[in-house]
Chain A
């Protein structure tokens, strides 16, 4: 089955700088898909290309079956997009913002608008220009959700929200999944929220896609190994080439390795490092992800949708 969003070798340069490099991914219908990566890794540029707001230098993307660069208005009306900056008409009141937006959508559900506005405790007669960052996010979200879009694209929706507003955002996202076949594609830095609501993830690192798979696949393929050295033995100064090595933490008598896609061969290699004991230790979602995005993360590794792992070339 084809995805709600499909990109093929999507690439964008700004001058000499690569913002997005050969991104190929599929967002399955009905998924809550987290789009992760550090600041400046190309997430916003990708989102803008999906919506046809930025042109790709190379490659293409399709959203709801249409080329992003030629989205017809009725397809656009089925997409709810919330940008990082929450563009609102500052001179309108909360109520007027809703009324104004509702005219563009045949399927505007005012009950949803009111519910989200209520959730964020916005006063209907408050001017949009006088709202706090969190309140603006709430109003933006109400406007985005009210047309009951089939596909929600949220660019860092939790940015600047206080804990209560964050909870409202999560509740709203879970509420949206009540509609069968609704898809949410969102970027975020709040890994706890991602762990709660997302079932798929993609990781963008320095403009390159590093993983695109169900969260469970990601978790089960990133493992941590603890190598302990007793007596006078110490960890080797130089490690052999370990496929999928993401992160190394050393101390005098210990070596802690975070490895993606470890298999029998990895285990054999680890046993040649002279440690007294090699133990597999559980790794949390946060650690796994930080392992991916940390400076020592290996570039030549890609985690795919299927359980099969693909090595993108040998480590250079």
Chain B
């Protein structure tokens, strides 16, 4: 049930983005308890052996996105209110994500039916794990 982040160098995804993605994924999967602080910038940087500014910027981005909130003197926590985007922005983001997913899947040679099936499977899986999580919900 703990947040574990692992960094890959030489990847197409920047270290900054890897942290953002993994914190989001951990929250969606219910791996972060609402009352438990995330590791401090310094602690995470030293654990992962990366520049603290990178961790700081990733946390900053997560705060701006409304996924984390900083409680002064106590640290960084997952946000209670996790929906900050307008309808239009949410639509734009999901469109972007779906476009990338579908084009990658086609490139890998999957059929339209197979892609829909995979998406449905993953949706059920994530919804189930979110229900079991202590915070009882995903990002929306």
Contact = CB atoms under 8 A, between A and B. Distances in A.
Contacts of B15: 195-196
A282 interface: yes
B51 A177 contact: yes
Interface in B48-77: 49-54, 57
Contacts of A199: 51, 53-54
Interface in A2-61: 32
Q: In the complex, which range does the number of interface residues on chain A fall in? A: 20 to 34
A215 B14 CA distance: 9
Nearest to A286: B10
Given A178-B42, A199-B54, A216-B16, A284 B11 contact: yes
Contacts of A175: 46
Contacts of A195: 9-10, 15
A282 B14 CA distance: 10
A174 B10 contact: no
Given A178-B42, A279-B103, A196 B14 contact: no
Contact of B12 (A167, A171, A284): A284
Given A171-B46, A191-B9, A198-B51, 15 more contacts: A32-B51, A32-B53, A174-B50, A175-B46, A177-B52, A178-B42, A196-B51, A197-B49, A199-B54, A216-B57, A219-B14, A282-B12, A282-B13, A283-B12, A286-B10
Interface string A167-191: 1001100110110000000000001
A191 B10 contact: yes
Given A192-B9, A195-B9, A279-B103, A174 B52 contact: yes
B14 A170 contact: no
Interface in B1-34: 7, 9-16
B100 to A, nearest CB: 10
A156 B12 CA distance: 25
Contact of A170 (B11, B42, B49, B57): B49
Interface of B: 7, 9-16, 42, 45-46, 49-54, 57, 103
Contact of A192 (B10, B51, B52): B10
Main DSSP-derived SS at the A contact region = helix
B111 to A, nearest CB: 19
Nearest to A198: B51
A174 B49 contact: yes
B120 to A, nearest CB: 26
Contacts of B54: 199
Contacts of B14: 215-216, 219, 285
23 contacts: A167-B49, A170-B49, A171-B49, A174-B45, A174-B46, A174-B50, A174-B52, A178-B42, A191-B9, A192-B9, A195-B10, A196-B7, A196-B9, A196-B49, A196-B50, A197-B49, A197-B51, A199-B51, A219-B14, A282-B12, A284-B11, A285-B10, A285-B14
A65 B49 CA distance: 31
A174 B103 contact: no
B45 to A, nearest CB: 6
B61 to A, nearest CB: 11
B104 to A, nearest CB: 10
Interface string A258-281: 000000000000000000000100
Nearest to A177: B52
Contacts of A216: 14, 16, 57
B51 A174 contact: yes
B11, B13, B49, B103 interface centre (most CB from chain A within 10 Å): B49
Contacts of A215: 14
